[in-house]
């Protein structure tokens, strides 16, 4: 077995072990607090504290899956015109909560706007992980610098996050973006691996520059966006909460949980167990918006949506999936027309997505 193949197997084994460790750490409190909550409710006691802990644990598990999607470069991107100066400027207040008081924070912005086409939430996710990594490299304090610059090259927009920490040798730098790599105490977990996946999927590059004892710089380069940001349209009034949602989901447990989320927020729900049933319902039932899974037996979500729109022209469609975006795109959903919810999602995310879809009809 050649050394390259052995390194690949080692990386896969490390990834599998790290995922199992983090997922089990999220699932254990979810199960423990669930069982405690059941015992409390059976005795007529208040189980609110346990339910809150269960929600926190499920959030940690969801974060792990999002990091895995980012690492693999399979997230659904929602690109928009962004000025990197403004991204860093609005990110500054969060920095004080991410780093210790012994760490000085310096930001250096470009003298003119630096426009890129990127997903704002994912770019913020990258910055958070780079800052946390820099913090870990400076346990006794130091200086964290975030600099924005631009040039005329194809990848002309740059964000550089640097620290004055202990630095890394060449061998560690070569592995720092691998998942759950812990060499030298940097790059542990999926943080830098997910940052690498997000930047690569966004058409950019990310590299680490470091010397032992002289700190580390993580350099992100992205294509400049030559287009100005689109002008904001007129404000649209949200649809009343009693809107009718056609829910299309072939997993019974998932369908029931989403039904409960919808009714809890005031929506009326009509459910279909697959795409074919959804098309039949659409021909005979009033509805305001469709919420459909993407990957289903028989008609997939996109195929069902196309047929539903023939019966209900103009009805907004919100897609949802637990799959990665290449699976979504193979089923025909394009980023530019996409209203998409990544499973798992919560009540607030669901409500916002439906409200936005309904408002867009005006």
Least confident of 83-97, 174-188, 216-230, 294-308: 174-188
CATH 3.30.565.10 spans which residues of the chain?
80-222
CATH 3.40.50.2300 spans which residues of the chain?
244-359
Over the stretch 102-129, which tens digit does the pLDDT of each residue have?
999 999 999 999 999 998 888 988 898 8
Nearest-angstrom CA–CA distance, 330 and 9: 28
| Nearest of 258, 246, 325 to residue 289 by alpha carbon | 246
Kindly report the average pLDDT of the chain as a whole number.
82
Other CB atoms within 10 A of residue 280 CB: 13
Task: Say whether 30 sits in a helix, a strand or coil.
Answer: helix
Of the CA atoms within 13 Å of residue 230, those in its CB half-sphere come to 6
CATH architecture, range 244-359:
3-Layer(aba) Sandwich (3.40)
Question: What is the reported pLDDT for 291?
Answer: 95
Question: What is the reported pLDDT for 293?
Answer: 92
- Give the length of the chain: 362
Element (H, E) at 16: helix 3-42
Contact between 66 and 343 (Cβ < 8 Å): no
315 Cβ neighbours under 8 A, 6+ residues apart: 282, 287, 288, 289, 290, 308, 309
Question: What is the reported pLDDT for 288?
Answer: 93
CATH number of 3-72: 1.10.287
* DSSP state letter for 224: B
Contact between 131 and 144 (Cβ < 8 Å): yes
Q: Which two tokens stand for residue 43?
A: 């005795």
Of the CA atoms within 13 Å of residue 1, those in its CB half-sphere come to 7
Class of domain 80-222: alpha beta
Nearest-angstrom CA–CA distance, 218 and 176: 11
Output phi, psi for 258, to 5 deg: -70, -40
Q: Which two tokens stand for residue 334?
A: 């394009």
Question: What is the reported pLDDT for 304?
Answer: 92
State how far Cα 55 lies from the chain centre.
Answer: 18
Question: What is the reported pLDDT for 111?
Answer: 94
Q: pTM for the full model? A: 0.57
| Residue with the larger pLDDT of the pair 147 and 73 | 147
With vertex at residue 255, the alpha carbon angle to CA 253 and CA 259, rounded to the nearest 5 degrees, is: 120
Q: Which residue's entry shows tokens 């004892």?
A: 213
Strands 317-321, 340-342: pairing is: parallel
pLDDT band at 206 (very low <50, low <70, confident <90, very high): very high
Is the pLDDT score of 166 beyond 80? yes
CATH 1.10.287 spans which residues of the chain?
3-72
Question: What is the reported pLDDT for 326?
Answer: 46
Question: What is the reported pLDDT for 240?
Answer: 47
pLDDT band at 344 (very low <50, low <70, confident <90, very high): confident
Q: What are the distances in angstroms from CA 255 to CA 63, 246, 304, 309, 345?
A: 22, 11, 17, 22, 13
């Amino acid at each position: 077995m050649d050394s390259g193949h052995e390194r690949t197997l080692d990386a896969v084994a490390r990834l599998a072990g790290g995922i199992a460790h983090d997922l089990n750490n999220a699932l254990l409190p979810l199960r423990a607090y669930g069982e405690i909550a059941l015992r409390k409710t059976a005795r007529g006691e208040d189980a609110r504290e346990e339910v809150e802990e269960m929600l926190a644990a499920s959030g940690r598990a969801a974060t792990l899956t999002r990091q895995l999607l980012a690492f693999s470069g399979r997230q659904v991107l929602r690109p928009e015109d962004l000025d990197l100066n403004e991204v860093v400027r609005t990110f500054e207040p969060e920095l004080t909560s991410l780093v210790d008081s012994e760490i000085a924070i310096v930001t250096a912005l470009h003298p003119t706007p630096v426009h890129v086409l990127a997903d704002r939430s994912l770019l913020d996710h990258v910055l958070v992980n780079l800052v946390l990594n820099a913090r870990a490299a400076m346990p006794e304090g130091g200086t964290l610098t975030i600099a924005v610059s631009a040039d005329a090259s194809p990848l002309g927009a740059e964000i550089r996050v640097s620290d004055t920490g202990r630095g890394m040798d060449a061998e560690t730098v070569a592995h720092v973006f691998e998942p759950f790599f812990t060499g030298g105490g940097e790059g542990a977990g999926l943080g830098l691996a997910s940052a690498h996946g997000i930047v690569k999927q966004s058409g950019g590059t990310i590299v680490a520059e470091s010397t032992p004892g002289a700190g580390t710089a993580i350099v992100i380069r992205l294509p400049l966006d030559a287009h100005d940001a689109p002008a904001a349209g007129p404000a649209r009034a949200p649809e009343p909460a009693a809107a009718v949602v056609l829910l299309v989901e072939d997993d019974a447990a998932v369908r029931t949980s989403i039904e409960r989320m919808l009714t809890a927020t005031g929506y009326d729900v009509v459910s279909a167990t697959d795409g074919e049933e959804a098309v039949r319902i659409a021909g005979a039932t009033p509805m305001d918006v469709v919420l459909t899974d993407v990957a289903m037996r028989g008609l997939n979500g996109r195929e069902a949506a196309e047929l539903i729109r023939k019966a209900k022209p103009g009805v907004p469609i919100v897609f949802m999936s637990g799959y990665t975006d290449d699976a979504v795109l193979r089923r025909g959903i394009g980023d530019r027309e996409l209203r998409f919810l990544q499973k798992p999602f919560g009540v607030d995310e669901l409500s916002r997505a439906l409200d936005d879809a309904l408002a867009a009809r005006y």
